Amino acid sequence: MSNSYAGPVPGGLRTTEFVLRPIMAADAEKDHAAVMETRESLRLWEQSTWPEDDFTVDANRLDLVELEERHADRRAFTYTVLNPDGDECLGCVYVFQTSASFLARSAVAPIGDDDWDQVDAVVYFWVRRSHSEQGMGERLLSSLRSWFLEEWQVHNVVFVTNEQFTEQVDLIRGTDLSLKFELVEPGKAGKYLVFG
């Protein structure tokens, strides 16, 4: 992201089921366990071989250092999703502006009359496999929508997933969100579907 985000950035979100807070390098072990349990879905979501079967906690910690730094610099925001006790990672939420470098390199096609430049926040999320099977993804998405409106004070928020991650596509299509854009990242197979 070329510019720092100027708006309010909430410290987190708490519900009876989960807690969101900024991710830290110290979360490496908990995050790694969730990532590895969910790796088949994440490979579809990422359109890559990440995480590899031999992905280590130490390699994950290096990734989290970068995520923590860019959050502190207000360039992009990553929240870990934890159980209420904070001892188990249930997923992750990533928040970008449309000016994020990987988005700026992507081809974005509107489905209707929406203007990509008017989007306030671009959100990606995933839920740990064992909790996704219990419907937590729907509840997380619902909470995120309220959170962005009330705490972030932004209205034009979009949620992105890859067309090949059919489980998450179906989850989002099951809401009143509609397809606004199709996005193609350089070097990645399949389109990303952008709902708002």
Residue 107 neighbours by CB distance under 10 Å: 10
Buried (b) or exposed (e) across 31-40, using 16+ Cβ within 10 A? Answer: bbebbbbbbe
Predicted confidence at residue 168, as pLDDT, reads 97
Q: Which CATH code is given to the segment(s) 13-195?
A: 3.40.630.30
List strands edge to edge, sheet with 107-110.
13-14, 19-22, 77-82, 89-96, 121-127, 157-162, 192-195, 179-184, 107-110
87's CB contacts (< 8 A; 6+ apart) are 30
CA 81 from centre of chain: 11
pTM: 0.95
Q: What is the tens place of the pLDDT at every residue in 162-183? A: 999 999 999 999 999 999 999 9
Question: Tens-digit pLDDT profile for the chain (196 aa)?
Answer: 346 788 889 999 999 999 999 999 999 999 999 999 999 999 999 999 999 999 999 999 999 999 999 999 999 999 999 999 999 999 999 999 999 999 999 999 999 999 999 999 999 999 999 998 889 999 999 999 999 999 999 989 999 999 999 999 999 999 999 999 999 999 888 899 999 9
Q: What is the tens place of the pLDDT at every residue in 78-102? A: 999 999 999 999 999 999 999 999 9
Domain ranges of the chain: 13-195
Answer whether 90's CB lies under 8 Å from 21's CB.
Answer: no
Predicted confidence at residue 2, as pLDDT, reads 41
